[in-house]
Amino acid sequence: MQIPKESKILEIVDFALREDLGDGDHTSLATVPEDGTGKARLLVKDDGILAGVELAKMIFNRVDPDLLVEVLIEDGSKVKAGDIAFHVSGSSRSILSSERLVLNFMQRMSGIATKTYELAHLIEDLPTQLLDTRKTTPCVRLMEKWAVLIGGGNNHRFALYDMIMIKDNHIDYAGGIKNAITRTNQYLSKNGKDLRVEIETRNLDEVKQVLAVGDVDRIMLDNFSPEEIVEALKIIDTAHYETEASGGINESTLRAYAETGVDFISSGALTHSYQSLDLSLKAEFDL
């Protein structure tokens, strides 16, 4: 797994620190001696997949470059209640000022990684890839998609600018599938854009309309049943077009969809219907 570009991560971290610290962590400034040092452990309180350790290191370093982090369990590892993921030591004030942001990100990232792992594990013997979507928390999409990778899933497009996805509303506003595809390719040519093109279809008739026009890279089969996808794949040249299933697919139906032979299955649930992993940062002792 490739760690996202650090500069982009730090932009989010800096914004989050400004939100949380304001003009100072006054509780720590009031109660903890300026030269006080300490050590804390990251305690895991749930079973799942750990995610956000590398991010935690970045956060601690951003708050105080002199904080030392000793990692015991890496991102992507299975953890159980009672495990210690890492120790952090140094300025007590710095540890306290970092604590909530580290936990907020790690709990959510670990929840996403755990849900992703559970779903990806169901189809790991099949070639179908599990994808996330743009159904993410505003401003922290980068961390959430990073967590999907840690959990064994794959990323769909990151945002509106890195891929063309012609959805049902685009088709309706454009006046139909042919108009939407034609205008898309004209736009890409005119603006010198080299972007992959995906189009959503709602039924077999729309699949046929797309095939009649061509000029797309991937066909999304939205809210199709597995049986309907099998029928669609019979008429799609899968050597020429990628295929993606989407819409209401869950743990009980995921494998049936993957067994159709579709290339990708996208699931918004990976980033909007997970349960955060319970983690806690506990002070250990003074150095």
pLDDT per residue rounded down to tens, the chain (287 residues): 456 678 899 999 999 999 999 999 999 999 999 999 999 999 999 999 999 999 999 999 999 999 999 999 999 999 999 999 999 999 999 999 999 999 999 999 999 999 999 999 999 999 999 999 999 999 999 999 999 999 999 999 999 999 999 999 999 999 999 999 999 999 999 999 999 999 999 999 999 999 999 999 999 999 999 999 999 999 999 999 999 999 989 999 999 999 999 999 999 999 999 999 999 999 986 54
Residue 1 lies in a domain: no
Task: Give the domain CATH number at 172.
Answer: 3.20.20.70
Q: Are residues 166 and 230 in the same domain?
A: yes
Number of domain units in the chain: 2
Q: Are residues 100 and 162 in the same domain?
A: no
Token readout for 32 is 């903890």
Q: Are residues 100 and 125 in the same domain?
A: no
Q: Are residues 96 and 213 in the same domain?
A: no
Question: What pLDDT does 233 receive?
Answer: 98
Q: How far is CA 93 from the centre of its chain?
A: 32
Q: Are residues 233 and 279 in the same domain?
A: no
Q: Are residues 254 and 128 in the same domain?
A: yes
pTM equals 0.94
Question: What pLDDT does 1 receive?
Answer: 46
User: Measured between alpha carbons, how far is 221 from 168 in angstroms, rounded to an integer?
Assistant: 11
pLDDT digits (tens, 9 = 90+) for 216-239: 999 999 999 999 999 999 999 999
Q: Are residues 259 and 175 in the same domain?
A: yes
- 23, amino acid identity: D
* Residue span of the structural domain in which 145 resides: 121-272
Residue 153 lies in a domain: yes
Q: Are residues 192 and 221 in the same domain?
A: yes
Q: Going by C-beta distance under 8 Å and a sequence separation of 6 or more, which residues neighbour residue 151?
A: 49, 51, 76, 112, 113, 114, 115, 116, 117, 120, 270
Task: Give the domain CATH number at 24.
Answer: 3.90.1170.20
Q: Are residues 231 and 259 in the same domain?
A: yes
Q: Are residues 148 and 279 in the same domain?
A: no
Known catalytic residues are: 100, 135, 167, 200, 222
Question: What pLDDT does 162 receive?
Answer: 95
